[in-house]
Amino acid sequence: MSSPQAGWYQDPQDPQGLRYWDGVQWTSQTHKPNQPAAPVLGSYQSPTPPPPYQNYSTAQQGSYAAQPVSFVEAAKGLITKWTFRGRASRSEYWFSSITLSLLIFILRAVTGVIGVEAVGYVVLLVQTVLGINLLLIAIRRYHDTGRSGWWLLLQLGLYTILAAALIVTALVSLLVAFGGAASDAQSFGAAALVMLVLFLANNIWLIVWLSLPGKSEKNRFDD
């Protein structure tokens, strides 16, 4: 983007005044609109075009990255905003995750105090429904980093498979060990260790991608 031509523009430090732009940078010459401008190269221009882009922040230039939200806004969105289209910022996803965790903890504590079995089913229903919306937020979080939500589903699929494989190999290793077959137990124990490493690696991969900053460029997930 090329810089504006030399002339008088709205002062970025004083919106009520004007400052002279020499074609490369702002000068120290300023004046108010109701006062005669100092005779500098170039003529007075009115209405004033926008200041040079160098003085704009990324957001002012039209960044497409999702904007941060407060904890209250994220908690409200977890209940009211149901869509996988568009983007979600890091704060929106992590605040939503914390909100869901706190809500489930409180509901389960209340259920333990009341001791009514029916309340437990309500807690399970709330956890399932809001968990689905958290998944939608995670998909939008991936969109904000320029990635498809299919990557998230792949990671969750690997999470399920590796978790199941880890449990099975660990249980088999214990059963074989109690049966007296030490060599077989070691083999299954080694397999369980490999499953554990892969499981942790997949979780780290998931957390890292959910924590990446949003891309300011427009992508195919923007409306």
Cis peptide before 68 (omega within 30 of 0): no
Q: Mark whether 76 and 31 lie in a shared domain.
A: no
Q: Mark whether 154 and 194 lie in a shared domain.
A: yes
In a domain, 60, yes or no: no
- Grouping H, G, I as helix, E, B as strand and the rest as coil, residue 75 is helix
- The whole domain housing 113 covers 66-145
Provide the number of structural domains found in the chain.
Answer: 3
Query: Given this model, what pLDDT does residue 55 score?
Result: 42
Q: Which of 223, 61, 54 is nearest to 140 (CA)?
A: 223
Q: Mark whether 136 and 156 lie in a shared domain.
A: no
In a domain, 222, yes or no: no
Q: What would the mean pLDDT of 82-90 be, rounded to a whole number?
A: 93
Amino acid at 71: F
In a domain, 103, yes or no: yes
Q: What would the mean pLDDT of 130-155 be, rounded to a whole number?
A: 95
Indicate the pTM of the whole model. Answer: 0.67
User: For 196-216, how does the pLDDT look when each residue is reduced to its tens digit (9 = 90+)?
Assistant: 999 999 999 999 999 999 998
Q: Are 45 and 7 spatial neighbours (Cβ–Cβ below 8 Å)? A: yes
User: For 51-77, how does the pLDDT look when each residue is reduced to its tens digit (9 = 90+)?
Assistant: 444 443 444 445 788 889 999 999 999
Please give, one letter per residue, the 3-state secondary structure of 109-124.
HHHHHHCCHHHHHHHH
In a domain, 218, yes or no: no
Instruction: Quote the distance between the C-alpha of residue 108 and its chain's center.
Output: 28
